Amino acid sequence: MFELSSKMNEERIEEIGEDHIGTSAKTPLRADAFAISDKEKIERIQESVKDILITLGMDLEDDSLQGTPKRVAKSFVNELFMGLNPKNMPKASTFENNYNYGEMLVEKNIVVYSTCEHHLLPIIGRAHVAYISDGKVIGLSKMNRIVEYFAKRPQVQERLTMQVVQAMQEALGTEDVACVIDAKHLCVNSRGIKDIESSTVTAEFGGEFKDKDRKREFLDYLKMDTDFE
């Protein structure tokens, strides 16, 4: 029975091929994802990376490679995929909109460093986030931190865009949030088709941003030259 299930799974993977398929707006985590400590995760990943390098024929006695398994393991747990752990979710401090600012607020050009969950290769780009206050405002740096938190995990860009909007909506208590992400995927740029020029644009519009005029206003802001140097 197991062999049949395994064979069907392999056939499904072959059928998907290079297609980038997202299953839901939630990151697919097992129920026991945090049953072991970060320290133990680093130790396990270190051994796995060591095995991969040895299998590839690398000489881990070389000075340049001796520390690679541990460095990779630490970067996975503490940096590249730190957004998997809810304890790292930034506190989205909000404040009363005492100055009654009623127009949209746009935070442009938030740097995105993420990792494609299909090939574990980098996704590099920019996120643009906007909201219209319904009585609350959020610290500007918190918007950057929310993007960073959801980016720092194995991702698909569509899911990342949705997760940023959903987190902002929850923090602000309003549906009026939008996000556009424009990013390069190294799984496209450096392997497979090897198209170094193409980028991927995704968008999620909530509340008032579904109105075509509001949507156009937001997109027009993104065209503004904000190079002050």
pLDDT tens for the chain, residues 1 to 229? 545 455 555 655 455 455 555 556 899 999 999 999 999 999 999 999 999 999 999 999 999 999 999 999 999 999 999 999 999 999 988 999 999 999 999 999 999 999 999 999 999 999 999 999 999 999 999 999 999 999 999 999 999 999 999 999 999 999 999 999 999 999 888 888 888 889 999 999 999 999 999 999 999 999 987 765 5
The question of whether 119 is a catalytic residue gets the answer yes
The question of whether 185 is a catalytic residue gets the answer yes
From 20, 119, 158, 169, active-site residue: 119
The CATH homologous superfamily of the domain defined by 33-80: GTP cyclohydrolase I, N-terminal domain (1.10.286.10)
The question of whether 20 is a catalytic residue gets the answer no
Q: Is the pTM of this model over 0.85?
A: yes
From 46, 107, 117, 204, active-site residue: 117
From 118, 158, 169, 175, active-site residue: 118
Selection from 134, 149, 160, 124 nearest residue 27 by Cα: 160
Fold of 93-223: GTP Cyclohydrolase I, domain 2 (3.30.1130)
The question of whether 118 is a catalytic residue gets the answer yes
Kindly tell me the number of DSSP H helices and DSSP E strands found in the chain: 7, 7
CB 115 within 8 A of CB 121: yes
